[in-house]
Amino acid sequence: MNKILILTQKNDLHAACVAAALQQTGHNFSLFRGAEVPSLCTATVRIDSVRGSRTSFTYQEGGSIEDSFDVVWNRRRRNPMLAEGILHPSDESFARAEWASFGNALWPFWAQSGLWINSIKAQEAASSKLLQLSVAVGLGCKVPTTLVTNDPQELRDFLHRHPRAIYKPFRGIGEWIDGRSVAYETAKIDISDLPSDTVQKNTIGIFQEYIEKIFEVRVLIFGPYCFSLRINSSATKDPLVDWRNYRLGIVHMEATEIPDSVYAFCKNFMGKLDLKFGAFDFVVNRDHEWVFLEVNESGQFLFMEMADRSLNILSAFCHFLSNPYVTEKEIEHYAPYTEILENERYKQFM
């Protein structure tokens, strides 16, 4: 039986549900939250000419994690994080930098063994939205006309050519500002929205033509498995710019099939970036063309099973983690996502 390591963070529902499903079937797995070092556990690395190398993380509450794993799910890789106020202020900045450097040294060291889903190199490559679009174009897939610039005149010219456009940030996450959570979302933009030239010159963003769409599709691929969900984001009263900004239930979603050409594109794309797992987002425009938006190498997928319970994704993914070289679409019996939520088994792993 393969030994599985899940790299995660606190309150990661996906990692918790996968762990609960693996536990139910007796699989050997561990969860590692890098940010819990050093507050909740100690880190030790031993290297010598005779015994080789060994890494261990020992938790204060008991238990430890060693570095011998067959499969690593690189779900949410986080560096150690020193808590504030533990050390003298004059020492804290140095210690914080040392922990960050240790984390940066740890991952390539750890990545020498086991199959990573996805590898650090693939993860870093796939995090480049520019590389994604370039690879997609190279594979013959249609993409939105895109401009990345801090040149005010370039942006004005682009918006004159594409009066209906969108802005999207490089980082699709939010942050805490003045005690509240602020999210950065994809939004429509026209020339009247532009700030001063000074602001434009000192910021950078992604600007794309707005595509009139019939619907959108999330395509999830890992191993021999492919799941696809049609997202009817244009069926709402006001067509949504980005359905991901809305809670489940606002938009009707249903399982769908994708053309063979789209599946072939996704597999070729994953081969180019050496991805073992990818969550692709497409729009289908008014001419029924499939337009590639982006791929997330650690994208969310449980919402797909919740939206259409015929998609047995959690079971398939757990089977893939435990048998990463599987070539046939076999699915062991794991508890479905809804059952794990109802029984609350996942909470112990949050």
- The 10s digit of each residue's pLDDT in 312-325 is 999 999 999 999 99
Contact 146, 206 (CB under 8 A): yes
Residue that is written with structure tokens 């191993």 in the block: 223
Residue 23's contacts (CB-CB under 8 Å, 6 or more residues apart) are 29, 345
CATH 3.30.1490 corresponds to the domain 145-209: yes
The burial of 16, by beta-carbon neighbours within 10 Å (0-12 exposed, 13-18 middle, 19 or more buried), is given as buried
pLDDT at 31: 95
Cα-Cα-Cα-Cα dihedral of 178, 183, 189, 195, to 10°?
A: 20
What confidence tier does 252 reach under pLDDT thresholds 50, 70, 90? confident
Pairing mode of beta strands 3-8, 28-33: parallel
Q: Name the more confident of 173 and 204.
A: 204
* C-alpha to C-alpha distance for 164 and 161, rounded to whole angstroms: 9
Q: Is the pLDDT of residue 309 over 60?
A: yes
Sign of the Cα pseudo-torsion (309, 226, 125, 18, in order)? positive
Name the pLDDT band for 242 (thresholds 50, 70, 90): low
Half-sphere exposure in the Cβ direction for 268 (13 Å, CA): 13
- pLDDT band, residue 181 (cuts 50/70/90): very low
Q: What is the pLDDT, as a whole number, of residue 49?
A: 94
Q: Which two tokens stand for residue 305?
A: 């099973």
CB atoms within 10 A of CB 182: 10
Residue 257 has pLDDT above 60, yes or no: yes
pLDDT of residue 177 exceeding 70: no
C-beta of residue 188 within 8 angstroms of C-beta of residue 213: no
- CA 328 centroid distance within chain: 25
Express as a percent the part of the chain with pLDDT over 70. Answer: 91
Q: In the predicted model, what is the mean pLDDT of the chain?
A: 90
pLDDT at position 251, please? 82
Per-domain boundaries in the chain = 3-118, 145-209
Using the CB atoms, write b or e for 57-91: b if 16+ within 10 Å: beeeeeeebebebbbbbbbbbbebbbeeeeeeeee
In this prediction, residue 184 carries a pLDDT of 61
- Which tokens hold the place of 265? 């594109």
- Identify the pLDDT of residue 241: 54
pLDDT digits (tens, 9 = 90+) for 227-241: 999 998 775 555 555
**SS3 annotation, 198-211:** HHHHCCCEEEEECC
Nearest to 186 by CA among 245, 133, 146: 245
Tell whether the model's pLDDT for residue 26 goes beyond 60: yes
Asked whether 16 and 350 are in contact (CB, 8 A), the reply is yes
